[in-house]
A and B are shown apart, each in its own frame.
Chain A
Amino acid sequence: MAVASRSAGASRAEVAVRGLERSFGHVRALRGIDFELGVGDCLAVFGPNGAGKTTLLRVLAGLLRPQRGQVLLGGVPMERADARHRRQVGFIAHYSLLYDGLTAAENLRFYARLYGIDEGASVAERALGSVGLGERASDLVGTFSRGMVQRLAIARALLHGPTVVLLDEPFSGLDQRAAATLRELLLRLRAERRTMVLVTHNIDEGLELATHVAIQVAGRFTEFGPLAGGLADYRARYAGATAARA
C-alpha cells in the first residue's frame, strides 16, 4: 500500500496533515507525515514504541506545535492557540485529565466552563448519564475504578461535541468489561460519523473500528490506506514493518 501523496492546493478533507515534522532536541519524533481523512473516517495507527504515534496525536490535538508542516481541519490550517479548532477536537488518552479531588459532576462542570458550554450543569448531567455514571455524580473521582475513570474521561472528551476524536491507547489498563464498554462507545462514535484517529497496540480492536489503517515506524508512515485485506494479512505486514526497523 502506497503512502498517500501530498495533495496540492486546499483540501476539503475533514483532517489533512502535510509534511509534519517535530523533533525533541536531536530525537526526530515525526519525520514527515502526510495523510487525509474524510468525515466519519476512522484511522487506526499501529507501530512500535518510540515511533512517534503519541507525538502525532498531540500535534493533531494542538498540544504540540510542529516544527514543519501543517494540520488542516475542515480545510482550515490549525495555527497555534486557535480556539475554534480546539472546539472541534476531543482527546482521550490512557490518563484521564481529571481531578481526583473533585466529584464527577464538578469535573464535567469545570470542563463545560472551560469550553464555554451554555447550561453546563445540565449538559454535564446528561453526559454522565450517557456513560452510565449518573448515580456517581457526587462522588470524588479518586474513588472510581479504572473503568469508571475511563468512562468519565470519555464523557469529558465529548462534552463539547467534537467532530474529530483522537484516542491515545484508550484500551490500556482496562479489564474485559471496561474494554467492552469502551468498544461500544467507540462504535457509537463511528455511527455518529465523527472522524477518529486511534493509536492502539490492540490490533484486533483497532481493525474492528477502523476504516483506514496506518503503520508508523520511526516517525514516518510506512503504510497508509483504507482498510482492506484480512486480519492475518495485517498482522504479517505489521510484523514485517516492525522487524525491519529492529
Chain B
Amino acid sequence: MTPVESAERALRRAVPWIATSLALIAAVYVRALAFTPAEAAQGPAQKIFYVHVPSAWVAFLAFGIVGGVSLAYLLRKDPRLDLLAESAAEVGMVFTSVVLVTGPIWGKPIWGTWWTWDARLTLTLFLWFVVLAYLVLRGAVNEPERRARYAAVLGILGALLVPFIYASVYLFRTIHPMPVILRAGGPTLPGAMLATLLFSIAVFTLFFGVLLYYRYSLARLADARADAAAERRDA
C-alpha cells in the first residue's frame, strides 16, 4: 500500500469513531438536561458547566500534548511529530474557544455581564492567546523544517508558561477578590451531578482523541500526497 493509500485508510477508520463520539455527546446533553437535577442557586444556566469544565480539561490536555510532542520533535526531528503537535494545537484551540464562549454564556444570566475577570476564565483567555500565537507562527513561516523547529520551541515555552500564568491569575485574585461565578463545586458536588460531570469528561476526552486522530490523519494524507507529487516531478 502506498503512503497515500494508507493515509486515506487511516482517515476512513476515524469516521465511525467520530459518529460514536457525537452520539455520546448527545447522550451527555440528554442526561445533563433531563436526568440531572438543577443547581439550587444558579438554576438551569448552570448546566452549561457540563460542557464548560470538560472542555477546559481537554484544552489543558491538548496544551500538554503540544508541549510534550514539541520536545520530542526537537530531540528526534521526526516530521510526523510536528504534524501531531500542529493537530493537537488546532483541536485544542477549538476546545479553548468553547471554554471562552460557554463561560460568558453561563455567567450572563447569573451576573448580568458577559465577562468578568474570573480567575479561571482569565487563565483560559491567556492560554488562548498562546495557542493563537502558535498557530499564527506556523502560518507565517514558509519553510517546513524551520516552521517545525520554531513551532516546537514555542510549544515548549508555552507549556512552561501555563503554571506561571496560573500563579499570576490566582495570586492576583487573592489580593483583589473577584466574583467567582464559575464555581465548579469539586468534591462537594452531589452524586448525580458528579456522575454527569465525569461522564461528560470521559466523552469529551474521547471526542478530543478522535478529532486529534482525524486531524493528524488529514495532515499525514496531505503530506503523503505532496511527497508523491514531488516524486513524480523529479522522476
- Residues of A whose CB lies within 8 Å of any CB of B are 24-28, 218
**Contact (Cβ within 8 A) A27 B145:** no
Closest to A24 in B: B143
* A127 to B18 alpha-carbon distance, docked (Å): 69
**Contact (Cβ within 8 A) A24 B145:** yes
Offer 12 A-B interface pairs, CB within 8 angstroms, sorted by A.
A24-B143, A24-B144, A24-B145, A25-B143, A25-B145, A25-B226, A26-B144, A26-B226, A26-B227, A26-B230, A28-B234, A218-B234
Residues of A within 8 A of B143 (CB): 24-25
New contact pairs (13) apart from A25-B143, A26-B226, A28-B234, CB-CB < 8 Å: A24-B143, A24-B144, A24-B145, A25-B144, A25-B145, A25-B226, A26-B144, A26-B227, A26-B229, A26-B230, A27-B230, A28-B230, A218-B234
Closest to B227 in A: A26
Residues of A within 8 A of B230 (CB): 26-28
Closest to A25 in B: B144
Closest to B147 in A: A25
* A28 to B145 alpha-carbon distance, docked (Å): 13
Residues of B within 8 A of A25 (CB): 143-145, 226
Residues of B within 8 A of A24 (CB): 143-145
Q: Which of B195-235 contact A (CB under 8 A)?
A: 226-227, 229-230, 234
Residues of B within 8 A of A27 (CB): 230
Closest to B144 in A: A25
* A211 to B143 alpha-carbon distance, docked (Å): 36
* A218 to B145 alpha-carbon distance, docked (Å): 20
* A25 to B227 alpha-carbon distance, docked (Å): 9
